[in-house]
Amino acid sequence: MITIILIAITAVISYIAFSNNQLVDKLIFYPPEIKRKQWYRFVSYGFLHADFSHLAFNMFALYLFGTEIEKVFKEVFGVEGGSFLYVLLYFLGLIFSILPTWFKEKDNYYYRSLGASGAVSAVVFAYILVYPMNFMGILFIPIFLPAFLFGIIYVVTSIYLEKMQNGNINHLAHVAGGVFGIVFMFVTFMFIAEINIIRYFIESIQINSFSDLIHFGY
């Protein structure tokens, strides 16, 4: 499957880069080099990771949610069309998730960024639109919430952490990636398949909530 291929390519490049600083310097998101028209860095940075835990976390999330969204795309748009749109979601997710950071840091000669988190966020929020009432949680934290609630908390937390400037995590890319995933899903489903994915999302929450009320006797 495409998701497995993306994971394999990312894992191989990241692993090689762990011990190859020249490769990191060549691929990492670095504003001065982008100003020198190395536009490929808007994509290549997503195939690098800081360490094994960073790589494992992103690729595990991509596997969990990407495999499901890949199936949805192929069912709705056909195998060829769905495969193309899924790849487009991922790669445009890499680009659009880092754009706010580019505008913010384009004159910062000390700024660098790497990791597939932005594209993975696009995939995760695509999943949330399709399965808003499926339960989601965070690794090693035994708390699970409906996907749409998890998404809201995730965005609010990321915005807060970005304002606080805690750590080296690019929270802005996470938010931008999630927003892009929602917009991409709405546009592709509405104009290609004539499916209003936002209305489906809202109705799925309402129907499940109503079913819960009936189940508990209200």
Taking every pair of C-alpha atoms in the chain, what is the biggest distance, in angstroms?
A: 65
| Local confidence band at 210 (pLDDT 50, 70, 90 cut-offs) | very low
Per residue in 159-175, pLDDT tens? 776 677 655 678 789 99
| Local confidence band at 136 (pLDDT 50, 70, 90 cut-offs) | confident
CA distance 67 to 149: 22
Residue type present at position 76: V
pLDDT at 138: 66
Write the CA distances from 5 to 12, 85, 190, integer angstroms. Answer: 11, 15, 28
CA distance 86 to 92: 10
**Backbone φ/ψ region at 49: left (φ over 0), alpha (ψ -120 to 50), beta:** beta
CA distance 186 to 39: 27
Per residue in 3-23, pLDDT tens? 999 999 999 999 999 999 999
Per residue in 94-118, pLDDT tens? 999 999 999 999 999 999 999 999 9
pLDDT at 144: 76
- For residues 192 and 77, is the Cβ–Cβ distance under 8 A? yes
Residues 6+ away with beta carbon under 8 Å from 150: 128, 136, 137
**Mind giving me the DSSP string for 1-23?**
-HHHHHHHHHHHHHHHHHT-HHH
Res. 131: pLDDT tops 50: yes
CA distance 67 to 127: 10
| Token pair listed for 48 | 């690098």
* Residue 33, H or E segment: helix 31-35
| Token pair listed for 137 | 């949680």
Q: What is the mean pLDDT of residues 171-184?
A: 93
The CATH number of domain 2-215 is 1.20.1540.10: yes
Per residue in 33-58, pLDDT tens? 999 999 999 999 999 999 999 999 89
